[in-house]
Amino acid sequence: MNLRFENLKKAYGDKTVLDLACGSIEHGKITGLIGSNGAGKSTFLNIVAGLDKPTSGHIWYGSTEELPRSQMTLLFQQPYLIHTTVEKNIAYPLKLRKLPKDQIAARVAELMAELGLTDLAKQRGRLLSGGEMQKVAFARALSFRPELLLMDEPTSNIDAATTAEIERIIKKENEEAGMTMIFVGHNLAQIKRLCHEVIFINQGKIVESGPTLEVLGNPQQPETKAFVEGRLLF
């Protein structure tokens, strides 16, 4: 799914927190959104997800401005699980879409194996560790192979080993299913590992965008260079 946006603004009273003239997210790519706290990254992601409305402007999902709710999902820092078992959490989006039981079972088993959750299949979500809960949330989000996967710092509160597992399945699903993914993060090493493209937002505006290794390795704008070098504090 390609995304395009034009004259996208979000204001609270007389304070404009997002002002994006134009831009796009390429189909089948993992695009990283980077910037300091308060830059507007999460605001943009929430607008794309339909959780917030822009003050003005347009977003096109492919050729339409209609929000494709059934084809997209959003992952947060804090995982939210329904009060049931691991396997039922993962199966939930598939049941909503009325897939055959054998297909649901096969997909759930595949994802649990990929993320080391098989032995926890009958465990209730509320009894899991933070890292295990986030893996379940990821498996559930990936279960129906959404066309658009939005991620807001989804690995910021988990350990390095779990982060590596999640990064691996993000790349696998992107390559195999061609999912379009938007990843908000502060860890530039992780952005380099995961993202094909990157968009640097500062004070609500896009400063620089392009291939990740080019933007982070040879930034063209002073603000981007300052951010990459850890000198941009606000």
Asked whether residue 129 carries a pLDDT value surpassing 70, the answer given is yes
Look over the chain and give the mean of its residue pLDDT values, rounded to a whole number: 93
The confidence band for 79, taking pLDDT boundaries of 50, 70 and 90, is confident
Query: What is the C-alpha to C-alpha distance for residues 28 and 31, in angstroms, rounded to an integer?
Result: 9
Band of pLDDT at residue 233, cut at 50, 70 and 90: low
166-201: per-residue pLDDT in tens?
999 999 999 999 999 999 999 999 999 999 999 999
Q: Is the pLDDT of residue 234 over 60?
A: no
What is the percent of the chain where pLDDT is above 90? 87
Which pairing describes strands 180-184 and 30-34: parallel, antiparallel, or unpaired?
A: parallel
So what's the pLDDT on residue 231?
Answer: 83
Q: Is 133 helix (H, G, I), strand (E, B) or coil?
A: helix
* Domains defined along the chain, listed by start: 3-77+147-228 (3.40.50.300)
pLDDT at 34: 96
pLDDT band at 230 (very low <50, low <70, confident <90, very high): confident
Amino acid (one-letter) located at 211: P
CB atoms inside a 10 Å sphere around CB 232: 18
pLDDT value of residue 136 = 95
What residues does 74 pair with on adjacent strands? Answer: 150
